[in-house]
Chain A
């Protein structure tokens, strides 16, 4: 069974903390993505990566960075967490060809207090 695994289901962090969200996929996919999902706003793309050490900004990259040191792992970093980053974070992976499905992790619900 193919899998995208996010390191935490729930996280509570304090304002100003550096936060790492980890994502691992076992499908040897080239492409990996980080989205956040908020009520009324839907899924919004933060960053994505199409290869090791490569990254591209999505629609809302401000306040975030990413790291992809290995093909299977894609990390989202909140450099200094703020309350407006309280959200559901979803990692996804997809193969190289465009007309293929994306596989999502179970999501991390992050609360910044």
Chain B
């Protein structure tokens, strides 16, 4: 069955550095992949979607890459700030294309 793995449960970095989060998937070839942000006690909020024919996508300080050969997406936050501290989830459609399934998330802590 398809599986999504986010390699790190937690990532601690200093303000101003670039945070890089990894999402790997197996047993599936999704047409697109999504990233969400979740703050404690709240529902996830959509950040970015990247399609299989897009190598890279940017939105302000966020950058996502999608390598369908490696079956991996990287999520970068440049010039990180304490306000970027949150849990980041990657998601892709199940094989039937009917529902999103999520990785367990990486909790990012940015210290000043």
Q: Name A's B-contacting residues (CB within 8 A).
A: 4, 31, 33, 35, 40-43, 45, 48, 50, 56, 58-59, 90, 92, 94, 98-107, 109
Contacts and interface: CB of A to CB of B under 8 A. Distances in A.
Given A43-B89, A90-B43, A107-B42, A101 B101 contact: no
Contact of B98 (A4, A40, A56, A102): A56
Contacts of B102: 35, 42-43
Interface of B: 31-32, 34, 41-46, 49, 51, 89, 91, 93, 97-105
A102 B100 contact: yes
Given A42-B105, A99-B32, A101-B34, A94 B43 contact: no
B31 A99 contact: yes
B105 A104 contact: no
Contacts of B104: 40-42
30 contacts: A31-B98, A31-B99, A33-B99, A33-B100, A35-B102, A40-B104, A42-B103, A42-B104, A43-B102, A45-B100, A45-B101, A58-B99, A59-B101, A90-B43, A98-B97, A99-B32, A99-B49, A101-B34, A101-B46, A101-B49, A102-B34, A103-B46, A104-B43, A105-B43, A106-B42, A106-B43, A107-B41, A107-B42, A107-B43, A109-B41
B41 to A, nearest CB: 7
Contacts of A4: 43
A4 to B, nearest CB: 8
Contacts of A43: 44, 89, 102
A105 B44 CA distance: 8
Contacts of B44: 43, 90, 102, 104
A35 B49 CA distance: 20
10 closest A-B pairs by CB: A104-B43, A42-B104, A101-B46, A43-B102, A48-B99, A99-B32, A98-B97, A104-B44, A107-B43, A90-B43
